[in-house]
Copies of this chain bind each other. A is one copy, B any other.
Amino acid sequence: MGSRSHTAAALAERFGLALRGDGDAVVDSVGTLANAGPRQLSFLANPRYRRQLAGSAAGVVVVREDEAAEPGRTLLLAPEPYVAFAKIAALFDPPPVASPGVHPTAVVDASAEIDPSAEVGPLAVVGARTRVDAGAIIGPGCVIGEDCVVGAGSRLVARVTLVRRVRLGERVLVHPGAVLGADGFGLAMDAGRWIKVPQQGGVAVGDDCEIGANTTIDRGAIEDTVLEEDVRLDNQIQVAHNVRIGAHTAMAGCVAVAGSTVIGRNCLVGGAAGIVGHITICDRVVIQAMSLVTHSIDEPGEYSSGTPLMDARSWRRSAARFRQLDALARQVQALGKEKK
């Protein structure tokens, strides 16, 4: 059996799952219910896909016990099939491990400290007084400036930029094109021209954070911009200077957070939502996609703005009436008074 082949029985034991069916069934990769073959493992988490289970050729399927009606199939029973699937799938696609050493084409400042177990890839740049800790991977084409720290086991996939004073915790994963530690957008108008307000803070990123491709997180103006531990940011998110994001908060792609805003723990922010500056959002808030948060939120719950999608002709009629909404409401008030 190849090093990435596993029997259903071995998986059941390793992940503490109950087994139904053939414990000797072998899988060596994962697949969707619709397309998996007999040597592939699949899962059923979303009831919408339940009908696909019957016809699936998957060798092993992870399901909740109450979905395990079908006889003759090899099943792993899990209270949270998606979580169990995620853990098993990692066996087939383990994250890369550092190949210790500095690639000969990398340019590393003499004052940088690279742990001997860390990897610095081809054509990477590491600046003065920067530290790269044990087992960290600096991928190809990354540029790390001065006074940064890349914590143990962290990985900058490729072409990531840490501009200045960026400190990453342990096991942080940063995807290509992300820019951490660029100047915050600080301007003051002086006699008709903008002058730049120096940005002297840094960026502090907690353990186990993940930062998506082309996401930007600016350096603080005076103090740091902060991500607490286990914050998960998708691609193309903009985090302005002095923002603080609480532990376990996740944001979908293209969210924009303006300066000095504080976001709580365990929040979920939908794609392309906007959050204005200098406000506070409490823990366990859910913001719907493309909503704009214009004021502080102090109650957990779900929040939205915007209008529903309509065919353009109907939309134009509603939109025209939106302009006159105050007049309409006054007219209704007047009609109500006449009634009395």
Binding site for B on A (CB under 8 A): 29-32, 35, 80, 82-83, 85-87, 89-90, 92-93, 103, 105, 107, 121-123, 125, 139-141, 143, 145, 157-159, 161, 163, 173, 175-177, 179, 182-183, 185-190, 192-200, 208, 210, 212-214, 216, 218, 222-223, 230, 232, 234-236, 238, 240, 248, 250, 252-254, 256, 258, 271-272, 274, 276, 286, 288-295, 299, 301-326, 328-329, 331-332, 335-336, 338-339
Contacts and interface: CB of A to CB of B under 8 A. Distances in A.
A193 B213 contact: no
Contacts of A195: 83, 86-87
B290 A289 contact: no
A15 B146 CA distance: 30
A312 B308 contact: no
12 contacts: A30-B198, A92-B200, A122-B125, A123-B125, A125-B158, A157-B163, A159-B179, A161-B177, A253-B256, A254-B274, A293-B309, A304-B311
Contact of A309 (B163, B194, B292, B314): B292
A308 B319 contact: yes
A177 B214 contact: yes
Contact of A192 (B122, B213, B214, B248): B248
Contacts of A240: 234-235, 253
A86 B196 contact: yes
Nearest to A48: B278
Contact of A329 (B250, B253, B274, B321): B321
